[in-house]
Every structure is written in C-alpha cells, then in structure tokens.
C-alpha cells in the first residue's frame, strides 16, 4: 500500500512538471522581437520613406484603416501609397510603442503607442497630426514579424 501511494505521488508530481506552457523567457524574447521590428519599421519610414516602410513590413493580407476606410491587402496598400505620394509635400512619420504583448503561442502580438505625422508644404508651412497607433503583428513562416492590422 505504501508503495502504491508513493508511486502515485511520484507520478502525480511528474505529470505536474510536464506543463506545456511556454516559459516567461520565450514571451519576453517574442515581445523584444516585436519591439525591434517596430524600431526597424520606424527607422525605415524616416530614412527611406513611409510607403517603402509600410510595404516592407506589411503581411500580404495586411489591413490598414485610413480616413475611416479599410485598405485590404498589400497590393491595395501599394496603390493607396502611390496616390498619396503625388504632391503630398515633405512628410514625416515617427512612432514609438508604449506597450507590447504576444500570444502564448508566439505567433501573434500587438503594440500601441504614440505617433506624430507632419507635412511641410512648399511654402514651409508644417501641419502636425499626432495620436495613438495600434498594430497587430503576425509571425511569418521565416520567423520574421509583419503587421496584419494598422
């Protein structure tokens, strides 16, 4: 009887130790990957242009909402940027994530924070818009992160 109880306790302890949840270190690593991707995304927008950055970091099925209109898919996004780039003046977009979280499976994450968008016209007049952004990120097959919602 003692052996059965001892065996049952040992087996129960073993089963408890086989928890399949991901360690916190994985969650923190995934969050840092997303933050690093946000930083690369923002740096590219500043250095190489907003449209190039958005097209580089967009998933093929990405959706963005601009002026209360959904732009669905990377090709529609490309067309939208081509229309905007004509005569829009000197533009700048900067942002920094204030918060990041990631799913337990490590395949979806999201960020939010503050952005600033400015346009300088040909006379040097600056129009500034600021607000809050929210981005949903999806891990790609190659391990990289691309946004699916912005």
User: Which pLDDT tens digit goes with each residue over 73-100?
Assistant: 999 999 999 887 555 568 999 999 999 9
Residues 149/133, Cβ–Cβ less than 8 Å: no
Residues 109/102, Cβ–Cβ less than 8 Å: yes
Given a cut of 90, whether residue 6 has pLDDT beyond it is no
Arithmetic mean of pLDDT, 59-76: 96
Residues 116/93, Cβ–Cβ less than 8 Å: yes
- Residue 10, both tokens: 């040992």
> Which band of pLDDT confidence, cut at 50, 70 and 90, is reported for residue 11?
very low
CA separation (Å) from 75 to 58, 60, 61, 64, 137? 10, 8, 9, 12, 18
pLDDT for res 83: 85
Rounded-to-integer distance, Cα 78 and Cα 113, Å: 24
Rounded-to-integer distance, Cα 73 and Cα 67, Å: 17
pLDDT for res 19: 52
CATH topology of domain 24-149: Nuclear Transport Factor 2; Chain: A, (3.10.450)
Given a cut of 70, whether residue 5 has pLDDT beyond it is no
Does residue 49 sit in helix, strand or coil?
Answer: coil
Q: What is the mean pLDDT of the chain?
A: 87
């Amino acid at each position: 009887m003692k052996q059965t109880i001892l065996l049952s306790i040992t087996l129960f302890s073993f089963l408890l130790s086989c928890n399949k949840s991901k360690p916190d270190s994985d969650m923190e690593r995934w969050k840092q990957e997303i933050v690093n991707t946000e930083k690369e995304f923002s740096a590219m927008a500043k250095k190489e242009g907003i449209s190039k950055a958005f097209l580089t970091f967009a998933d093929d099925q990405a959706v963005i909402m601009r002026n209360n209109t959904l732009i669905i898919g990377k090709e529609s996004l490309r067309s939208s940027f081509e229309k905007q780039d004509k005569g829009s003046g000197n533009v700048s977009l900067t942002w920094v994530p204030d918060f990041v979280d990631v799913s337990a499976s490590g395949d979806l994450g999201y960020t939010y924070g503050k952005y600033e968008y400015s346009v300088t016209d040909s006379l040097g007049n600056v129009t500034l818009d600021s607000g809050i952004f929210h981005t949903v990120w999806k891990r790609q097959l190659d391990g990289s992160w691309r946004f699916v919602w912005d």
